Amino acid sequence: MMLRPLSAPAPLAPVPASWGWLKRTTRLVCQPRLLPLSGLEALAPASRHAWRALDDDPQFLWRRQLPLPGWHMLEVRLDHDGASAAVKLYFDTGDGFDEAHSLYLALRAGRVSKRLCYIPPTLRAIRFDPLESAGEFSVEHLRLVWLTPGFAHERLAQRLTNLHPDWLQTPRQQLIGALKQRASERGVAWRELALAQYEATFARTCPSASYRAWLDRHPTPAAAEIAARLAAFTWRPTISVLLPTHDTEPAYLKRCLDSVLAQSYPHWQLCIADDASRDPQVMQTLSRYAAAEARIALVQREHNGHICAASNSALALAQGEFVALLDHDDELARDALFHIAEALQRQPDADVLYSDEDKIDERGERFDPHFKPAWNPDLLLGQNYLSHLSVFRTARVRALGGFRLGLEGSQDHDLALRCTRGLSAGRIVHVPQVLYHWRAVGTSTAGAAAAKTYTGAAGLRAVREHLALETPAVRVEAGRFPNTYRVHWPLPQPAPLVSLLVPTRDRVEILEPCVRALLERTDYPNLELLILDNDSRDPATLDFFAAIAADPRVRVRRCPGPFNYSALNNVGAAQARGALLALVNNDIEPMHPEWLTEMVTHACRPEIGCVGAKLYYPNGTIQHAGVVLGVGGVAGHAHKYFSGHQPGYFSRLHLAQNYSAVTAACLVVRREIFTAVGGLDAAHLAVAFNDVDFCLRVRDAGYRNLWTPFAELYHHESISRGSDDTQAKRARAASEAQYMRRRWGASLFTDPAYHPHLTLTHEDFSLR
């Protein structure tokens, strides 16, 4: 169904067999003929796509008979040239098209995306907005299917009990009754409440187009509220803002200074060190501000010493317990220092604090927000994700000697590495608020990461020297993207034995390529491969077992009984000889020989627990790049369906980093850790989420789990086990999900490797 301009509508797709009672009329299965309204250009028939969206608000009028009132399932599939896409439908019920009568649906690449909606009896017209940004697209599938109330209620209950935080512990069969009771208590219609809460599970914005709309939904707290919260503080530390300047554009300098003067938190000091600016307007401006405000301390350096020397001059002026770093053309949010001080009320022993940030252009428009994880030490080795706003305890910075000369361009990264060395995680605090606006102009690093090429060399040196203090054999090289780095950890000598555990049952056409690829495309020098046979009966599979067992690295162990992934791996671990265990699915194929070496070097680090790999679908898109807790109601895979060549969220698709969990489809862990936490949970998690549960127990035991993008493998996901396509399998999956929510509770929805403002509906790091 590739909707071309002014074409006749495609034939109706068949109604699912489970809806056999449905009569196929244009009212029950409603497909449109789309009439372009605005922002659209029809493409030539030979083009790959049918339409071009000319701006961020393309619009069609939905032509054809309108759908019947009642519950419907909206189904959409678009082929488009963007990284992501979302559609909106607007319903005119008598007052025209408006946001109050609209619905939103983010699309998954190559798949039909679906959601419930309710069509009111007063419907007059429908508008279909296919994209939120300019680009080319074709509408491959678009229809509304009328549903019986019972079927609609079942789907509603399924989504709310899986995704809405108010209903995660509610049995699905009790959901509608509980909704009606709550609606009665609030004096609203139950369907109104149900639709609002259902809509909340789709609360997502495309990262490329909707930050402005997100900001509108998250306004800055009123001054009165801030004042009331400030009055409750028991400690009001002075925060000294360090501001080195040099030939700053006067307009930007004034905005920077005004942003400090406008702070809602009054206990600050602004320490300015001008690094021998040649433009006389700079000192004139600074002197005027310093004369008018007693909290400003100003020094003019006689000779230009660059950013590190100037920052040290500013540091020498600091009288506060903490110092905050500010660049001379950037801006602080109005409540930036208030939020830092508020965080210190909760964690007064913090030595390092950092916030989220966004960028601001020449017109003052904010864009490109960076919502950061909590303390993530391996990510900090790969990039300076702390960046802005960074705040440090003054005594600690001075004890470390301040800013190191020679690290110009990455002096903040170097300082962050040195200040966090040896600190417990509790003394490094992430404030999950956008407190800093980074000026994006042509020559700034915010405007283009490659604008200052010397920053990468300085950052490389900072990471190398930081690691060399404890691990001299470590190697560091530049990453794929500017100002990113890859760390090569040393392999212990002699290389420890690694036991690869591969559960399987029949399907030799899947198993044999996997096993041969593991043996032939792995350069790790010391491994054994245990095939854990769960009642294979196929003669070809049994013949393969006999043949492959001739390889001295391979053993086949019989593991009879019902399929239980956890139990199979626990049996394998008990029989393995290796100091390290590698849990490997029978549908995994390495893409390069060094995959296991990369994983083992991390797994041998004393502080690291589980190590996960970068897994691809056969078409080259991402299947696994770390696990994000809470996505889909329990957990989901970060960056799923992204192209492997995309940078991902702030280059995270190409950086080793700490995640709360990684998939057991390819996971390496030391045997001692596996044993200490009791292995996988065979009693409650036979198939799904056993890896997430295991990783969380490893994390609770004091280890950091890690995902590396430098171990790359193909994963033909669940091809031998099959999908959850029967009633029994779906019941088992639901039971395992419920168990995870009971066991881990709210911690499933507060992932320190993620951010509370990012979606739990999709795997793409888009905004809630």
Task: Tell me whether residue 462 is in a domain.
Answer: no
What is the per-residue pLDDT for 673? Answer: 98
Please check whether residues 107 and 235 belong to one and the same domain.
no
Distance CA 699, CA 748 (A): 13
Task: Tell me whether residue 193 is in a domain.
Answer: no
User: What's this model's pTM, rounded to 2 decimal places?
Assistant: 0.77
Please check whether residues 435 and 508 belong to one and the same domain.
no
Task: Tell me whether residue 464 is in a domain.
Answer: no
Three-state SS letters, 18-41 = HHCCCCCCCCCEECCEEEEEECEE
Q: Which residues of 503-525 are buried (b: 16+ CB within 10 A; e: fewer)?
A: bbbbbbebbbbbbebbbebbebe
Please check whether residues 603 and 686 belong to one and the same domain.
yes
Q: What is the CATH number of the domain that holds 63?
A: 2.60.120.260
Distance CA 353, CA 425 (A): 11
86-92 vs 33-38, strand pairing mode: unpaired
Three-state SS letters, 602-648 = HHCCCCEEEEEEEEECCCCEEEECCEEECHHHCEEECCCCCECCCCC
Tokens of 379: 């990510």
What is the per-residue pLDDT for 30? Answer: 79
Q: How many residues are there in the chain?
A: 768
Nearest one of 179, 125, 137 to 51, comparing CA atoms: 137
Query: Which residues sit opposite 52 in a β-bridge?
Result: 41, 136
Distance CA 54, CA 40 (A): 6
Q: Which residues of 595-615 are buried (b: 16+ CB within 10 A; e: fewer)?
A: bbbbbbbbbbbeebbbbbbbb
Task: Tell me whether residue 222 is in a domain.
Answer: no
| Final residue of a structural domain among 384, 413, 448 | 448
Task: Tell me whether residue 171 is in a domain.
Answer: no
Please check whether residues 444 and 506 belong to one and the same domain.
no
Q: Which residues of 701-736 are buried (b: 16+ CB within 10 A; e: fewer)?
A: eebbbbbbbbbbbbbbbeebbeebeeeeeeeeebeb
What's the chain's Rg over C-alpha atoms?
Answer: 29
Task: Tell me whether residue 344 is in a domain.
Answer: yes
Please check whether residues 443 and 506 belong to one and the same domain.
no
Please check whether residues 432 and 503 belong to one and the same domain.
no
What is the per-residue pLDDT for 731? Answer: 82
Kindly give the parts of the chain with pLDDT less than 50. Answer: 1-26, 203-209, 447-451, 719-722
Distance CA 357, CA 432 (A): 9
Tokens of 80: 């488009």
At which residue do the structure tokens 């509790």 appear? 426
Please check whether residues 437 and 506 belong to one and the same domain.
no
Nearest one of 335, 329, 391, 337 to 360, comparing CA atoms: 329
Distance CA 277, CA 579 (A): 60
Distance CA 407, CA 274 (A): 19
Nearest one of 284, 199, 195 to 245, comparing CA atoms: 284
Task: Tell me whether residue 11 is in a domain.
Answer: no
At which residue do the structure tokens 């069969």 appear? 173
Please check whether residues 443 and 519 belong to one and the same domain.
no
| Final residue of a structural domain among 107, 126, 147 | 147
**Which of helix, strand or coil describes residue 671?**
helix
Note the pLDDT tens digit of each residue in 139-189: 999 999 999 999 999 999 988 887 776 787 788 889 999 999 999 999 999
Nearest one of 645, 641, 611 to 626, comparing CA atoms: 611
| Final residue of a structural domain among 147, 162, 187 | 147
Distance CA 118, CA 637 (A): 31
Q: What is the CATH number of the domain that holds 424?
A: 3.90.550.10
At which residue do the structure tokens 């950091």 appear? 704
What is the per-residue pLDDT for 451? Answer: 45
Please check whether residues 505 and 377 belong to one and the same domain.
no
What is the Cα 662 distance to its own chain's centre?
13
At which residue do the structure tokens 């497909």 appear? 31
Question: Which residues contact residue 604 at a Cβ distance below 8 angstroms, ignoring those fewer than 6 apart?
Answer: 489, 491, 492, 496, 580, 670
Element (DSSP H or E) covering residue 527: strand 527-533
Please check whether residues 605 and 702 belong to one and the same domain.
yes
Task: Tell me whether residue 116 is in a domain.
Answer: yes
Q: What's the CA angle centered on 187, arms 183 and 188, to 5 degrees?
A: 60
Residue 633 dihedral angles phi and psi, to the nearest 5°: 100, -20
Please check whether residues 636 and 526 belong to one and the same domain.
yes
Nearest one of 596, 621, 623, 594 to 611, comparing CA atoms: 596
Distance CA 550, CA 552 (A): 6
Tell me the HSE value of 547 on the side-chain side, using a 13 A CA sphere: 10
Please check whether residues 510 and 370 belong to one and the same domain.
no
Number of domains within the chain: 3
Distance CA 527, CA 325 (A): 49
Helices (H) and strands (E) in the chain, counts: 20, 34
User: Which residue type does 690 have?
Assistant: N
Distance CA 35, CA 229 (A): 53
What is the per-residue pLDDT for 217? Answer: 84
Three-state SS letters, 85-145 = CEEEEEEECCCCCCHHHEEEEECCCCCCEEEEEEECCCCCEEEEECCCCCEEEEEEEEEEE
Range of the domain at 716: 498-749
Rounded to whole angstroms, the maximal C-alpha distance in the chain is 90
Q: What's the CA angle centered on 438, arms 222 and 281, to 5 degrees?
A: 100
Q: What is the CATH number of the domain that holds 524?
A: 3.90.550.60
